Amino acid sequence: MQENNAKGTDISTLGEFGLIKHLTKNIKLKHESTNFGVGDDAAVIDCKNKKTVVTTDLLLEGIHFDLMYTPLKHLGYKCIAVNVSDVYAMNATPMQVTVSIAISKRFTVEAIDEIYEGINLACENYNVDLVGGDTTSSLTGLCISVTAIGEAEESQLAYRSGAKENDLICVSGNLGAAFAGLQLLEREKRVYDNNPNMQPDLSGHDYILERQLKPEARKDIFERLQAAKIVPNSMIDISDGLSSDVMHICEESKVGCLIYEEKIPIDYETHKMAEELNMNYSTFSLNGGEDYELLFTVPLDKFDAIEEMEDVKVIGHITNESKGKYLVTRDNVEIELQAQGWNPIKED
């Protein structure tokens, strides 16, 4: 585990304010709306006449990530990516983030530097300003909380509650890869726990590992929708699994849906991993989660524009609420969708 570095610098040598100064000394602000960032009691942001979008995620060691196989730099990157993904899911532009971190005595300054390398890389890639946060000690493990702030014209915002009957249901990328990567990592961890002399076998699985350890928010899809002048009627990012997240849209919009199993995009490596584990690969896409792809609905007259859009697929349509929420299997059987995706507060 990367935090166990006997030659590293003890955080206590810097103190809280020294650590904050150390971690933020190279921050450069990019946006005119960021009037003032790190260095005072609070950041100052001026969004002019636009609407402000705010989202927060909390990542806890042992619940959301396992440091046995999660590189610290990847973890830092992921904690930013999953938050800006929520901003894109509102059809808004992410502008600023704050990062708060609770750390135990296991961690050195160098280990925290690795986390912030990932944070800073993600901020650069998604063009957001890191404008503040907090640091504190933890008795149980690592905890990272990120708040992302975005902006949009009111007419451009996409809510979960806007889906209309006959809307096309669209999804970016492919689904289930992150869950496939997690299953692989957990399998190899169990092998290691049983025999520490065994080396993990991760060959041929680069794609699904990256989708789990270093997911990307779909900034490109957000930009393509803007370029095509398409404002989705509803939108959500797929963090809990397709079945759970499409049901979120249906419940908020008071509509039903019909999803076609054969149209759900699945990568070859995901398919192969499901076969290795003797599992149905559709289970990965429907219930896996952490893909951070964009799931959205648009009016039927946008079909041609969506068909031309790279890396976006139509997988179903919105129905009347009375017709329920169903998946049409490859055998042309309709089965009711179940919300079986990620639930962070369920009992074991």
- Quick: pLDDT tens for 199-241: 888 989 999 999 999 999 999 999 999 999 999 999 999 999 9
pLDDT tens track for 152-180: 999 999 999 999 999 999 999 999 999 99
Q: Tell me if domain 11-155 and domain 160-336 are identical in fold.
A: no
CATH number of the structural domain 160-336: 3.90.650.10
Q: Could you write out the three-class secondary structure of 109-175?
A: HHHHHHHHHHHHHHHHHCCCEEEEEEEEECCCCCEEEEEEEEEECHHHCCEHHHCCCCCEEEEECCC
Burial of 336 (C-beta count, 10 Å sphere; 0-12/13-18/19+): exposed
Cα–Cα distance between 17 and 15 in angstroms, integer? Answer: 6
pLDDT band at 140 (very low <50, low <70, confident <90, very high): confident
pLDDT computed for residue 41 by the predictor: 57
CA dihedral 13, 19, 21, 26 (to 10 degrees): 110
Domain 11-155 adopts which CATH fold? 60s Ribosomal Protein L30; Chain: A; (3.30.1330)
pLDDT computed for residue 348 by the predictor: 47
Map out the domains of the chain as residue ranges: 11-155, 160-336
Average pLDDT score over residue span 295-300? 98
pLDDT band at 265 (very low <50, low <70, confident <90, very high): very high
pLDDT computed for residue 221 by the predictor: 98
pLDDT computed for residue 3 by the predictor: 43
pLDDT band at 121 (very low <50, low <70, confident <90, very high): very high
* Helix then strand then coil, % of the chain, to nearest 5: 35, 25, 40
pLDDT computed for residue 36 by the predictor: 45
Average pLDDT score over residue span 246-262? 97
Cα–Cα distance between 213 and 216 in angstroms, integer? Answer: 10
Six-digit token string for 265: 């995009």
Question: Using DSSP, how many helices (H) and how many strands (E) does the chain show?
Answer: 10, 13
Average pLDDT score over residue span 93-105? 93
pLDDT tens track for 32-50: 665 544 555 566 778 788 9
